[in-house]
Structure 1
């Protein structure tokens, strides 16, 4: 602040001097008679003239000297202060450069220290992580080994329990991997009876590597081994079920040593398979699937018969490639690409509580060119009336009382002594269990293709009790097809009846766009009555005449469908019945057929 004030004072002094010089020059010019714009008389400027120019020049020079002195002092003072300020500024710059250099040096040192510190920290972290990984691996190996050993012990214990329940002898052995016939096998578990030997091979993790079934004659069935192995992998209960069935069958064979029951069973299975193969030669595959037994194959449990409802679209199975594809799907018991659900029955034998029953001695198959005769050589010399055994189809089926009565009538057709029931359960031809009885009435509201339906079940003219069938005994292979036809009829009836009272998905009623579709805006009231398993009747109102129309659905043995229409002219009824029958066979939904009928009636 002081230097700034001094600088201002010096500027004022200089300005004063300059002003004084300017005033002096002006006064001198006036004295000399010099005026701006006027020519000067040179005589006045002469040294001897009235104006003494030398004196004026002297005064000007003296004034200039004073100005010069002032400027010299000012310049000296200014240079001195500038040098001092410049020196201070230069010193400040030097100090700043030195400070910046020191800061940069310190920063570099800090960076180097940080790099060394980070490297040390990273090395420490990496070492700690590696150590932790090694520790975790060791812990994981120990834990996995402990868990594997635990699973292995659990599997061994479960298989041992299965053997105890089935009355089999149990043996467990730890294997050397290099000496085992099964790769990766670590443990072998054996379950044995007089005629059967099951070998289950487990790896170190307790998982099943292979299952082997050996018969009393030393023969093995690789396809059965694969089936048993897959069953234990899919679910232990399935494996237990197969083991139980095999051992129970083996016990039955051992118990009836007076008669070669095993031979009888093998002959019956061979007869059915031969019949199945013979039919395949004379019918297209899809027609066989629709009308005959279905697919049959041998499994580790015995002969399995796959049956199902008639196909709705036959053209896709006409060529050989698709037929083989369907074979493979059935063999794998997969129905993902098949329109209908696949059911199965297992062929077996059991003791007969009635000695009067007989087994078929022979079966004749008629072909185009010759006659094939199937015989059981083991019973040629036996008294068939004393054979204490019978063939049985095992299954888990839900039938109505009428269908059960149809089965009883079929099985007692040859020998009426079957109808003489007594207290001995072994004498009953069909083992059954009463499951439930349908209510005499039920109601259901649903929306089908945008149309609101209200279904009312008015009851049935026959017994509607639901019965669970566990086994169906029979005498001859010729009875198998009628049995399947009765089952197919019941399945088709159940599916069509359920279509009226089961929820198919949430829909909203649609608004009609023209007068011809007014029936779609109204709730359709349909009364359902049945005569299970053969008839389902749907009664509704004509949308124009308001007269009653009866849609009668007849399910024939085998599951084939025929529709009859009551309340229309005979010609129209026959034409529409044919079209609606084809539609119902395809969609298997009575509500969709009702919509189609209402559309026809409103046109």
Structure 2
């Protein structure tokens, strides 16, 4: 084995370690202190290791065996060529031993050197956070950019004259202009080396990367975006003749066209499109490429100036409020199975009934409507999409597929994860990681636990017998009532298996709307659940063991406290389809009874509420449903119900108020008529005086 071959083995081992390390970091594991996204470190890892987690398991399962196979090939060559020659020589045993020892020492030196390099990088990153010297920090940033480009396989060179760092690939070219005197990034310009892509130049990409690179706190986002561009380039070159940039452009055109159709149907009702339609198309918001804003809570919707947003969306510009919306960002990744893509002369998957003839496309395309099970809430007829036929010869195929990344990720029940797999076609393609769903990981958290994760602080133990013990409670109080709502989760409801959904592969845009409706239903469930259990309703209670003299006072205090509490037991019924609430009213309020509320969550983002347990309370169902639809908040719903029970509207008073209102309106009407007559007479008199008309003269009727 030559020295270069020995380094090849070492290089492959380091690459394999890098693959595993990157996967660990995406799962939130093995992140050095002070680095990485802190939100990632708090996730339940066991709930994220599956087909829809942050790591593409299919790509991972291919890359690791490939590296191992390459190492085995080098070892086999060493055995057949070098080892056989050494064994045939005189004193081969000693020579072989010396050679192996030399290789071991060389490997150890290389490992130590690689570890030292990693340590230096970590030290540089930590030093940069504490560095107040702009010049030193900026030099390090330029070094980081150059190092990142080399890791991605881009060619690095500096322009003569003005300071410009250029990174070039086979398709993409980045020119980073900077000022060494003022220590700032001036402009990042993305261009394409191929003539076919020159028309795809987008200044919004330049502005996004410039902004992220100017703020080193956003360097991780810049890194992800550069990796995305490089991935699209790599997939386009390695798996020809598919052009991934063209595929993304087709998706961008489609989501923009669909938005325009729904905008026209709803008369510009953008919030309705957000929560009921195909979502709002966004371009180059945090991530390069298209994304869809598909949901927001009613509270968030009320805080946005939609008149301003309308124009910004049409122009394709960025607005800060977009970050408060649930978004799905669209890109591409490797797939285990082959998919067919549109030719370069076709720029949309969407079929246009108005100008295109369906018969002309039947030879090469399936014309696929959106999934029949999905209700079309805004458009009167389902959209139609072109789906290339495998039997046709005009399409390019490759082991690539589209993928949506959810921002933020969504916690879903296991049943919902299976529905997502079915709508996305993952199950049917045969590589659905069924074992990740069938086996219960002992470290996995339930859906209920995930939704309150991070709120309850860790328990502190004390050896002192009189030391207070802490317990947690969830309370909500409104100013209009003297009672506190106390929420308790039914102990039998902690078993809902859950997954964290980060990314969803799909093959055609017609699948996306079905995925959106599933996610909306789950998000609405999560919102209602978290309206009961959240950081504002959480209360930590210290319980101290009382002395014998304190016993009577404590009993009296507890009794008074109990009279002010409304105990509410929350049950999750087959999430995300509904919630059940058992409301135990205190004896001080009325004879102690229990009211049951059943909340049903539908996939069209609507809610239904049914109340039982206290007289003819069902007549409030319609009103309670309206309150729930308006606020999407369980405590507000219960407060409204209790307020109606404690202060029921008097029918006679309502009737009297209606009569008074009618009488007032009638008097106002008569008064207006009287004023009109008086004004009219005065006007005639004024006209006569001003015109100096003689009564005996003939008067022009037009003047009168």
Q: TM-score normalized by structure 2?
A: 0.53
Paired residue secondary structure (1:382): coil
Provide the residue aligned with 1:24 in structure 2. none
Provide the residue aligned with 2:534 in structure 1. 502
Matched, 1:166 2:152: yes
CA separation in 2, counterparts of 1:348 and 1:444? 43
Query: Structure 2 unaligned runs (5+)?
Result: 1-131, 343-347, 355-378, 453-470, 540-559, 649-704
CA separation in 1, counterparts of 2:244 and 2:396? 15
Deviation at 1:382, TM superposition (A): 3.5
Contact 1:452–1:523 (CA under 8 A) maintained in structure 2: yes
Provide the residue aligned with 1:150 in structure 2. 136
Provide the residue aligned with 1:307 in structure 2. 294
Contact 2:332–2:401 (CA under 8 A) maintained in structure 1: yes
Contact 2:289–2:329 (CA under 8 A) maintained in structure 1: yes
After TM superposition, the structure 1 = structure 2 runs for residues 242-321 of structure 1, keeping only pairs within 5 Å, are: 242-284=225-267, 285-286=269-270, 287-299=272-284, 301-309=288-296, 311=298, 321=307
Provide the residue aligned with 1:212 in structure 2. 189
Provide the residue aligned with 2:581 in structure 1. 538
With over 3 angstroms needed to count, the CA separation of the structure-2 counterparts of 1:403 and 1:460, relative to structure 1, is farther
CA deviation vs aligned residue, 1:148-183 (integer Å, no higher than 9, x gap): 64344212201112112222111124634xxxxxxx
1:458 counterpart (490, 510, 519): 490
Contact 2:341–2:397 (CA under 8 A) maintained in structure 1: no
Paired residue secondary structure (1:249): helix
CA separation in 1, counterparts of 2:385 and 2:399? 22
CA separation in 2, counterparts of 1:209 and 1:341? 29
Contact 1:305–1:345 (CA under 8 A) maintained in structure 2: yes
Deviation at 1:350, TM superposition (A): 2.1
Provide the residue aligned with 2:598 in structure 1. 552
Paired residue secondary structure (1:503): coil
1:348 counterpart (318, 328, 331): 331
CA separation in 2, counterparts of 1:210 and 1:599? 59
After TM superposition, the structure 1 = structure 2 runs for residues 126-525 of structure 1, keeping only pairs within 5 Å, are: 149-173=135-159, 175-176=161-162, 187-203=163-179, 204-217=181-194, 219=198, 220-234=201-215, 235-284=218-267, 285-286=269-270, 287-299=272-284, 301-309=288-296, 311=298, 321-322=307-308, 324=310, 327=313, 331-335=317-321, 341-355=324-338, 362-364=349-351, 381-382=392-393, 387-395=398-406, 396-400=408-412, 401-412=414-425, 417-418=428-429, 421=432, 436-437=445-446, 444-450=473-479, 451-459=483-491, 463-504=495-536, 522-525=564-567
Deviation at 1:420, TM superposition (A): 5.9
Count of residue correspondences: 424
Contact 1:535–1:554 (CA under 8 A) maintained in structure 2: yes
Q: Which has the larger radius of gyration?
A: 1
Contact 1:398–1:466 (CA under 8 A) maintained in structure 2: no
CA separation in 2, counterparts of 1:253 and 1:433? 41
CA separation in 2, counterparts of 1:520 and 1:341? 39
Contact 1:443–1:501 (CA under 8 A) maintained in structure 2: no
CA separation in 2, counterparts of 1:189 and 1:277? 40
2:640 counterpart (579, 592, 596): 596
Higher RCO (CA 8 Å, separation ≥ 6 residues):
2
CA separation in 1, counterparts of 2:243 and 2:581? 54
CA separation in 1, counterparts of 2:607 and 2:311? 27
CA separation in 2, counterparts of 1:585 and 1:379? 46
CA separation in 2, counterparts of 1:266 and 1:424? 36
Paired residue secondary structure (1:164): helix
Deviation at 1:346, TM superposition (A): 1.3
CA separation in 2, counterparts of 1:364 and 1:328? 22
Paired residue secondary structure (1:388): strand
Paired residue secondary structure (1:417): coil
Matched, 1:585 2:562: no
Q: TM-score normalized by structure 1?
A: 0.61
CA deviation vs aligned residue, 1:545-573 (integer Å, no higher than 9, x gap): 43321111222225322212133566x42
